[in-house]
């Protein structure tokens, strides 16, 4: 089904005498009503479009008209979020301005209405329709990329900005972005932020990236009240990036703010869509940086996808930090044993300490 999301596209398409199997999303038909009522329209979708009852009656019942619901967020967003959309009106010099941003308003409403435990049918419907539109916009965005050049880094949200691993992760993401990979993460703080920071600084010098990390120093962890402030201080000093990255956060963990360094943000209400979807799109491979329960969950989700080749083929599973994954959380030896004993199939498993080895492995896998 063809999608029309811009007024100029709408004005062009209604020059036709017949319209069929088109999805119109968040468009204004009020000045085009007379023309629309001269067209044979059938099997089209109208999502959150502005139109009179007269036009609605003309279109019904041969088309599908989805109205608005009374919630403080768009249930049919026509594209992905970014820092301007989520943090609209935020001024780091006035931290209280965060309270009026879209991100905060939606999160407060989400919590007020029961969060993930709500059984209010209007709320669950509104969230599902919103997430459907974000899912659709995410795949529109990804259609411009070779699926084997989409990578993800998974890791702990508590990784501090002043830890060695944070800078290493940022530099790894910077290198891979410069090599043409689209870097993706869960879109939050810690290792996720490091990925997007590195992608933002692709094409810039390592010294500039290190300067950004120094600017973060007053707020080294996501729970610090100046975490977002220092992010925007970096963005003020380095306002442009030639490269893109995709963050996929969720309002389920809305207390962990979405990193503004992700140029494209697919923010969902439903965490399961976010978790499964992130691993599904990372067909170029997944790098597992140290993390705890959430990261381990992602390891086994990715393991199942690769074992069954759920999306057509298996992709590399790379563990970063040998000591962590062999001693502190000995997941790697377990997986290696299962592979060696023939209990797991199609698994490209490796473990490294150095960025150069990770890059080399990915480049070799990408040649196959």
Which CATH number is associated with domain 146-367?
3.40.50.450
Contacts of 124 (CB under 8 A, 6+ apart): 118
At 197-233, the pLDDT tens digits run 999 999 999 999 999 999 999 999 999 999 999 999 9
pLDDT confidence of residue 275? 86
pLDDT confidence of residue 273? 87
Contacts of 327 (CB under 8 A, 6+ apart): none
In terms of pLDDT, which residue wins out, 328 or 367?
A: 328
Please give the average per-residue pLDDT across 300-323, as a whole number: 96
pLDDT confidence of residue 277? 87
**Three-state SS for 264?**
strand
pLDDT band at 280 (very low <50, low <70, confident <90, very high): very high
Strands 2-4, 22-25: pairing is parallel
pLDDT band at 67 (very low <50, low <70, confident <90, very high): confident
Average pLDDT, the chain: 96
Q: Is the pLDDT of residue 368 over 80?
A: no
Please give the average per-residue pLDDT across 283-296, as a whole number: 96
pLDDT confidence of residue 68? 84
pLDDT confidence of residue 166? 98
Quick one: what percent of the chain has pLDDT higher than 70?
100
Q: Is the pLDDT of residue 304 over 90?
A: yes
Ramachandran class of 306: left when φ > 0, alpha when ψ lies in -120 to 50, beta otherwise: alpha
Contacts of 231 (CB under 8 A, 6+ apart): 193, 216, 259, 260, 261
Distance between CA atoms of residues 44 and 176, nearest Å: 41
- Strand (E) or helix (H) holding 36: helix 33-36
pLDDT band at 276 (very low <50, low <70, confident <90, very high): confident
Give the tokens for residue 158: 């508590």
At 114-167, the pLDDT tens digits run 999 999 999 999 999 999 999 999 999 999 999 999 999 999 999 999 999 999
Please give the average per-residue pLDDT across 57-83, as a whole number: 94
At 235-264, the pLDDT tens digits run 999 999 999 999 999 999 999 999 999 999
pTM to 2 decimal places: 0.95
Q: Domain segments of the chain: what residues?
A: 2-66, 146-367
pLDDT band at 367 (very low <50, low <70, confident <90, very high): confident
């Amino acid at each position: 089904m063809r999608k029309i999301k811009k007024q100029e596209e709408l004005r062009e398409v209604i020059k036709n005498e017949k319209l069929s199997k088109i999805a119109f999303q968040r468009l204004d038909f009020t000045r085009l009503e007379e023309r629309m009522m001269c067209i044979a329209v059938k099997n089209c979708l109208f999502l959150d479009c502005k139109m009179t009852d007269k036009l609605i009656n003309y279109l019904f019942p041969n088309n599908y008209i989805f109205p608005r619901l009374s919630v403080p967020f768009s249930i049919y967003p026509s594209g992905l979020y970014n820092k301007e959309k989520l943090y609209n009106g935020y001024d780091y010099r006035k931290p209280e301005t965060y309270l009026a941003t879209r991100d905060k308003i939606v999160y407060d409403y989400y919590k007020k209405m029961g969060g993930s435990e709500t059984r209010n049918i209007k709320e669950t419907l509104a969230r599902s329709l919103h997430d459907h539109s974000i899912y659709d916009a995410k795949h529109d965005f990804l259609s411009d990329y070779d699926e084997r050049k989409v990578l993800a880094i998974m890791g702990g949200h508590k990784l501090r900005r002043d830890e060695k691993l944070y800078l290493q992760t940022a530099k790894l993401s910077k290198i891979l972005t410069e090599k043409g990979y689209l870097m993706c993460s869960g879109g939050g703080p810690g290792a996720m932020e490091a990925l997007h920071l590195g992608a933002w600084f692709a094409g810039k010098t390592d010294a500039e990236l290190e300067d950004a990390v120094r600017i973060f120093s007053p707020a080294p962890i996501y729970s610090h009240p100046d975490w977002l402030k220092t992010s925007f201080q970096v963005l003020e000093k380095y306002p442009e990036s030639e490269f893109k990255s995709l963050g996929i956060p969720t309002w389920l963990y809305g207390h962990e703010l979405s990193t503004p360094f992700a140029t494209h943000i697919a923010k969902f209400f439903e965490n399961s869509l976010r978790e499964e979807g992130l691993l599904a799109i990372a067909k170029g491979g997944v790098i597992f940086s140290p993390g705890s329960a959430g990261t381990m969950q992602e390891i086994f989700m990715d393991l199942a996808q690769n074992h069954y080749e759920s999306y057509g083929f298996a992709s590399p599973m790379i563990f970063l930090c040998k000591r962590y994954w062999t001693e502190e959380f000995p997941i790697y030896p377990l997986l290696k044993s299962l592979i060696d004993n023939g209990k797991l199939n199609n698994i490209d498993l490796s473990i490294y300490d150095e960025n150069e080895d990770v890059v080399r492995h990915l480049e070799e896998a990408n040649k196959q």
